[in-house]
Chain A
Amino acid sequence: MQQQKMVDHLFRHQYGKMVSILTRIFGLKHLETIEDAVQDTFVTALRTWQNGLPENPEAWLTAAAKNRALDLFRKLSAEQARIPKLDNGPSAIALNELFLESEIADSQLRMIFAACHPELKPQDQIAFALKTISGFSQKEIAASLLLKEETVKKRLVRARKNIIESQLQFEFPAGTDLVPRHNRVLEVLYLIFNEGFHSTQQAFLVREDLCAEAMRLCKMLLQNEHTRTPSTHALFALMCFNLARLNSKIDHNQQVVSLKHQDRSLWDNQLIQVGHFHMSLAVETNTLTAYHYEAAISAEHASAKTWQQTNWPNILHWYEQLNVVQPSPLIALNRAVIYVELKEFETAKVILESVSVSELEQREYLYHGLWAEYHHKKGDKQKALLAIDKALALVTNQAERVYLEGKKAKYTT
């Protein structure tokens, strides 16, 4: 027999599909029962496939999901819960239609919108989305978000409880609801992506998984006419430009490499091209969002052959625009970084002094790190060391600490 290979993450993705389809049939209030049932299907697959893959694993799983739907129907009607009739007649035909590709995509979109529903607390939305749409286990969510498993469990329980209490409907938002709800979906995907992209934890694969999931879900939005908006294209472009550079962010010793020192030959040019393509679709509008500007900044970096060839004036311009649509002290910090790099110390100083440090919260170390670089570049060793020590006193992330210590060593010599 020829050795067959399963598509990567097939089960994880299939889990999200199956849960979404079954939720469309039975409603969000039965979500827990549905998730257990889908989990069972995979356990069964694991055992029955031990001697070899079925011809089409995906079709096998879909057929199993259909059988699950019927099992669930029996189980829930035995419990006398109010559930739709689907044992015979026209509704049985409808059941089959729900397993068509286009309807599966629709069910999954509904699940994404349910996960990002304003009735759920923002921090619960991410955990819930990863569990229900992306098939992550509690443990995997905890590992990828750097949380305790107990915390993740609490969030999931609270999300399910909110869904039942507020009698959330498994529907695609319509009318004036669509835009704000869609915006929140984009925000959640952006956050999931950034959890993967900006975390510097050792488990490299987990980070990539989060980024890939955020992109997969974003792609789903791009496949539907109602959610295929310029801002969705912009967010997708941003993800492409950033992900293209992921491999060079950490070196073989698991150390963080700053953009300046990254090996640009490791960047994924194909992905950068995909990013440019989506960017061209993203700008077909008069309303540019923060995603547009962030993507534009990332595109400038991705297009620069070397650090020295970076188009700083363009990037500064995008940062200024970004600051208009979404003011943040981090943007000021980023602008200051560029002026320090360009050795325009006076401007850098004015910007740095205007930053309200307390707003930076756990990122305050970045502020002191930048002052250190400022003084170092100006040749003031003593002040550079004072500032870097302030940064080191505040930093909590291990990889970032190592990075700052490397800088300190450089200043000392």
Chain B
Amino acid sequence: MKDFMLVIIGDSYADLNLSPEQIQERMGKWFAWTEKMKAQGVYQGGNALTDTIKRVSGPDRVVTDRASTEVKELIGGFYLVKARDFDHAVEIAQDYPDYDLDGTIEIREIMHY
């Protein structure tokens, strides 16, 4: 088994105007996905990220604030999973709940030395 990171990319929920009912429904789908990964023993961890973004860049270590709305591909969170290969990781990513909201999962293998 190899280690992968599923990077969750999509609009901030704060900007999608979901109703309380829709939020609850979506949450149910997130639970189901996490539970399934745990049941299959592939889940290693994961977290959601807040919308606050600070960037430090360049030789001068310039600190800039970015609003989540200006970021084209906003990273909303990540999961760490065990998978046999990329195909298996893609299979795990099938249950991500936000494809209908134009969300994306980017799969990256974690490098081991």
Q: Residues of A contacting B27 with CB < 8 Å?
A: 6, 45-46, 49-50
Q: Residues of B contacting A45 with CB < 8 Å?
A: 23, 27
Q: Residues of B contacting A51 with CB < 8 Å?
A: 34, 46-47
Q: Residues of A contacting B48 with CB < 8 Å?
A: 47-48, 50
CA distance A137 to B24 in the complex (A): 13
Are B23 and A43 in contact, with the CB atoms below 8 A?
A: yes
Known: A40-B14, A47-B76, A50-B77. Is A11-B23 also a contact (CB below 8 A)? yes
A107 nearest CB across to chain B (Å): 17
Q: Is A90 an interface residue (CB 8 A)?
A: no
Q: Is B41 an interface residue (CB 8 A)?
A: no
Known: A47-B76, A47-B77. Is A53-B31 also a contact (CB below 8 A)? yes
Q: Is A15 an interface residue (CB 8 A)?
A: yes
Q: Residues of A contacting B20 with CB < 8 Å?
A: 11-12, 14-15, 39, 42, 135, 137
Task: List residues 25-59 of chain B with CB under 8 A from any CB of chain A.
Answer: 26-28, 30-31, 34-35, 38, 46-48, 50
CA distance A53 to B35 in the complex (A): 11
CA distance A51 to B32 in the complex (A): 10
CA distance A177 to B28 in the complex (A): 44
Set A3, A12, A46, A136: member contacting B26, Cβ < 8 A: A46
Q: Is A59 an interface residue (CB 8 A)?
A: no
CA distance A314 to B57 in the complex (A): 83
Say whether chain A's binding surface is mostly helix, strand, loop, or mixed. Answer: helix
Interface size bracket, B side? 20 to 34
Q: Is A1 an interface residue (CB 8 A)?
A: yes
Are B21 and A11 in contact, with the CB atoms below 8 A?
A: yes
Interface readout for A1-37 with B: 1 if CB under 8 Å, 0 if not?
Answer: 1010010011110110000000000000000000000
Are B17 and A137 in contact, with the CB atoms below 8 A?
A: yes
Q: Residues of A contacting B38 with CB < 8 Å?
A: 1
Q: Is B94 an interface residue (CB 8 A)?
A: no
Q: Residues of B contacting A39 with CB < 8 Å?
A: 20
Are A43 and B17 in contact, with the CB atoms below 8 A?
A: no
CA distance A11 to B25 in the complex (A): 9
Q: Residues of B contacting A139 with CB < 8 Å?
A: 19
Q: Is A52 an interface residue (CB 8 A)?
A: yes
Q: Is B64 an interface residue (CB 8 A)?
A: no
Q: Is A389 an interface residue (CB 8 A)?
A: no
**Most chain B beta-carbon contacts within 10 A, residue among A10, A39, A46, A135:** A46
Q: Residues of B contacting A48 with CB < 8 Å?
A: 48
Are A10 and B24 in contact, with the CB atoms below 8 A?
A: yes
Are B14 and A12 in contact, with the CB atoms below 8 A?
A: no
Q: Residues of B contacting A10 with CB < 8 Å?
A: 24
Q: Is A140 an interface residue (CB 8 A)?
A: yes
CA distance A352 to B84 in the complex (A): 77
CA distance A9 to B25 in the complex (A): 9
Would you mind naming 12 contact pairs between A and B with Cβ atoms under 8 Å apart? A6-B27, A11-B24, A12-B19, A40-B14, A46-B26, A47-B77, A49-B27, A52-B34, A135-B21, A136-B19, A136-B21, A137-B22
Interface residues of A (CB under 8 A from B): 1, 3, 6, 9-12, 14-15, 39-40, 42-43, 45-53, 135-137, 139-140
New A-B pairs, 7, CB < 8 Å, besides A3-B35, A11-B23: A11-B20, A12-B20, A46-B23, A46-B26, A49-B27, A52-B31, A136-B21
